[in-house]
Amino acid sequence: MGRLLLVGNSRWHWAERAAAGQPEGLRCWHEPGPPPAPQGWSDLEGWAAVGAVPDGLGLPPQRRLGLERVPLAEMPPWLGLDRALAGWQAWRRQGQGVLVADAGTCLSLTWVDGRGRFRGGRLSAGLGLQLNSLGVATAALPELPPGAGAMDRVDPLETWPKATAAAMVQGCLRACAASISQAWGDLSPGDPCALWLTGGDGPRLMPLLQAGGLAPQLAPDLCLEALAALVDPQGVPDPQLS
């Protein structure tokens, strides 16, 4: 079983193909950083990076997938690789236009039309960045610890919390959900489109979006799915998908 790796801004995202005789699919997991003592990358089929790659890890350059390998039409050369991967994979699975909300370190909104063309998007601070900024830039508000913690103790549908930490989480959650809802409402009505939700904070945003009348397709590992589709099991980018 070979592994796939996406180096993110705040976490490393891994996938492993199913072994022979097991149900098809990917086993995906996420870690805060690189392995403490990498022992080589012989089982790494392919990898891509959005965030910084630490020096000295020895990741094989010949197995790196760049933006030019993602067959998303009309994308600019500066487009983030994660946005290209998620947008292309959602469009590929949906079979029509998609708006992909990637709720990670950054909240990215990417519109791909029914012909598989990149049409634009929006970028803002993700949930964790918003909370961190509140704690750092104000004297009276606490710095909430990274990771789940306070966020998982807050009911996303609690409208008016009294506790300060809960009020911070609720405000930032609703800001992210409102950005997605606004973007969905701003799409061109003539092109059938579906809303897809991915990224680590996707499950936290799902109840709010559903309460607002939206029906996103939750797919937490879209980027890894795209990477698996674009890299064949021998570790070579698949030219048939170009």
Tokens encoding 57: 């890890």
C-beta separation of 15 from 27 below 8 A:
yes
Taking residue 125's Cβ as centre, other Cβ atoms within 10 Å add up to 17
**Amino acid identity for residue 144 in this structure:** L
Query: Measured between alpha carbons, how far is 120 from 117 in angstroms, rounded to an integer?
Result: 9
Query: Measured between alpha carbons, how far is 2 from 240 in angstroms, rounded to an integer?
Result: 20
Among all chains, which residue has been given the structure tokens 């708006």? 99
Instruction: Point out the catalytic residue in the list 82, 113, 201, 221.
Output: 82
Nearest to 157 by CA among 174, 142, 140, 145: 174
- Which residues partner with 111 through β-bridges? 99, 120
In degrees rounded to 5, what are phi and psi of residue 7? -85, 110
Query: Measured between alpha carbons, how far is 236 from 242 in angstroms, rounded to an integer?
Result: 13
Query: Measured between alpha carbons, how far is 30 from 199 in angstroms, rounded to an integer?
Result: 11
Q: How many residues are given for the chain?
A: 242
Establish whether 221 is a catalytic residue.
no
- Which active-site residues does the annotation give? 82
